[in-house]
Amino acid sequence: MLSRLLSRSALASLTGAAIFSLGSQAHAQALTVYSAGPNSLIERLAADFTEQTNIDVNVFQSTTGQVMARLEAERANPLADVVISASWDSATSLSEDGLLHAYRSSNAATVPDFLQADDYVAQGVSALSLVWNQNSDTPPPSDWSDLTDPVYANQVTMPDPAQSGAAFELVAGLLTATGEDATWSLLEALMDNGMVVPGPNARALNPVLQGAKSVVFGAVDYIALTQQESGEAIEVIFPESGTVIAPRPMMILESSAMQHEAEQFIDFVLSDQGQQRVAESYLMPARSDIEAQRPTLNELTLIDIDSEAMNEQRDVILERFRELTGG
How do residues 235-265 score in pLDDT, each as one tens digit? 999 999 999 999 999 999 999 999 999 999 9
* pLDDT higher than 80, residue 22: no
Per-residue model confidence (pLDDT) at position 10: 43
More confident residue, 32 or 309: 32
Q: What pLDDT is recorded for position 25?
A: 41
pLDDT at 71 over 90: yes
119 and 134 part of one domain: no
- Does one domain contain both 80 and 16? yes
Q: What is the pLDDT of residue 2?
A: 52
Same domain, 70 and 146: no
The per-residue pLDDT for range 138-158, each reduced to its tens digit, is 999 999 999 999 999 999 999
Does position 8 have pLDDT exceeding 80, yes or no? no
Inform me whether the pLDDT recorded for 13 exceeds 50: no
Give yes or no: residues 278 and 230 share one domain: no
pLDDT value of position 18: 33
Overall pTM surpassing 0.75 (yes/no): yes
Residues 136 and 10 in one domain: no
Q: Does residue 283 sit in the same domain as residue 263? A: yes
Half-sphere exposure of 63 (CA within 13 A, CB side): 26
Q: Over the stretch 204-241, which tens digit does the pLDDT of each residue have?
A: 999 999 999 999 999 999 999 999 999 999 999 999 99
Q: Is the pLDDT of residue 26 over 90?
A: no
Buried b (16+ CB within 10 A) or exposed e, 185-194: ebbeebbebe
pLDDT in tens, 87-131: 888 899 999 999 999 999 999 999 999 999 999 999 999 999 999
Domain that holds residue 130: 126-244+302-325
Q: Which residues contact 80 (CB under 8 A, 6 or more apart)?
A: 32, 33, 34, 60, 70, 71, 74, 253, 256
User: For residues 53 and 30, what is the distance between their CA atoms, to the nearest angstrom?
Assistant: 12
Do 113 and 212 lie in one domain? The reply is no
* Element housing 59 (H / E): strand 57-62
Q: What is the pLDDT of residue 326?
A: 85
> Span 155-181, mean pLDDT?
92
Q: Both 172 and 93 in a single domain?
A: no
Considering only 109-118, 261-270, 296-305, 308-317, which range has the smallest mean pLDDT? 308-317
314 and 196 within one domain:
yes
CA angle 35, 253, 288 (to 5 degrees): 60
Compute the mean pLDDT over every residue in the chain, rounded to the nearest whole number. Answer: 90
Please tell me whether residues 150 and 256 are part of one structural domain: no
**Residues 49 and 173 grouped into a single domain:** no
Task: Look at residue 23 in the predicted model and tell me its pLDDT.
Answer: 41
Q: Tally the domains of the chain.
A: 2
User: Over the range 261-279, which residues count as b (16 or more CB within 10 Å of their CB) and which as e?
Assistant: bbbbbbbbbbbeebbebbb
Residue 11, pLDDT > 50, answer no
Q: Are residues 193 and 239 in the same domain?
A: yes
For position 69, which CATH number holds?
3.40.190.10
